Amino acid sequence: MSKIGIIYNDAKPIACRITNELKDKLTAYGYDIHINNGSGGILGYPSLEHPLCHTSIDQLVPSGFTKDMTFAVVLGGDGTVLSAFRQVAPCHIPLLTVNTGHMGFLTETFVNQLYPAIEQVLAGDYEVEERTMLEVRLFRDNELLWEALCLNEMVLHREPMTCMCHFEIQIGRHAPIDIAADGIIISTPTGSTAYSLSAGGPVVTPGVPVLELSPICPHSLASRALVFADTEPVTVFPASPNRMMMIVDGNGGCYVLPEDRVRVKQSHYKARFIRLKPPEFFHVLREKLGWGLPHIAKPTSVELP
């Protein structure tokens, strides 16, 4: 019996309702259905009492979600999609992402188009687009303290009400660089349209094999976004006396102390998106972010008397 998964945002009543309906429909078709909520991929936030809060990358896979699963459906917004890929990427499961939220930049279809989309996928009429993911790890005295799988970005920034931070960053074998800023962002091409874009970084099309380093409010005209090969691992050494915060995919993270180091590298796991038609990234940019829209027509010239 073929297996299909459903990952849903249990905080949204519509996602809960559609999950139950979809389970009944697919079960009637003879499929073995496994369900998990999006909170299973939540990384968690630290506290002063518990400065580290995480689960190992491979231990986030939900029960029943295995490599023989045909595909899984995600019902939610972008946050649920990010959480779902942290859960299933180690099993190479392709995801059909269905928007029940607002922006839905990472989603493939809308909830009112769900059942035609399901029929199309069951008929095998789809493509799988693979996106780069990152593995983010925190070390202290060469001991691994925290790790996470990441689709969008890793952000390392100052805590509120503290001074500007200094970072020493080693990219691959290249000479270290120094950045003074409120924080830094290391993003994938997928994440180039998220926080990195807001920080002034460039948009990178998904198929380009690069990563991106963007300073947040840098204290120098010379500190600007940098694009480099995704084969280059990145090591960040905090060069400030104050504690910092690291956030992955805007979801959860940990404290980073001055003696720590953060290691970021391309993961061998990929985010596998089900595409119902050939991907058209510029169309998504235009539809979701307004990129490349035609200019407003200029007023017709008026002859002066």
Question: Cα separation of 44 and 159, whole Å?
Answer: 17
The answer to whether 214 is annotated as binding is: no
Beta-strand relationship, 177-181 and 165-171: antiparallel
The answer to whether 197 is annotated as binding is: yes
List the catalytic residue out of 78, 125, 141, 230.
78
The answer to whether 78 is annotated as binding is: yes
Residue for token pair 């074998």: 173
Composition of the chain by helix, strand, coil, percent to 5: 20, 35, 40
The answer to whether 195 is annotated as binding is: yes
Residue 206 backbone zone (phi > 0: left; psi -120 to 50: alpha; other: beta): alpha
The answer to whether 198 is annotated as binding is: yes
3 exposed, middle or buried (CB, 10 Å; 0-12, 13-18, 19+)? middle
Q: Is 249 a catalytic residue?
A: no
Distance of CA 66 to the CA centre of its chain: 21
- What is the identity of the amino acid at 101? G
Exposure of 90 in the CB half-sphere (CA atoms within 13 A)? 17
Give 175's DSSP letter: P
The answer to whether 2 is annotated as binding is: no
The answer to whether 152 is annotated as binding is: yes
Give the 3-state secondary structure of residue 143: strand
Active-site residues: which are they? Answer: 78
The annotated binding site for NAD(+) is made up of 78-79, 152-153, 182, 193-198, 251
State the binding site. Answer: 78-79, 152-153, 182, 193-198, 251
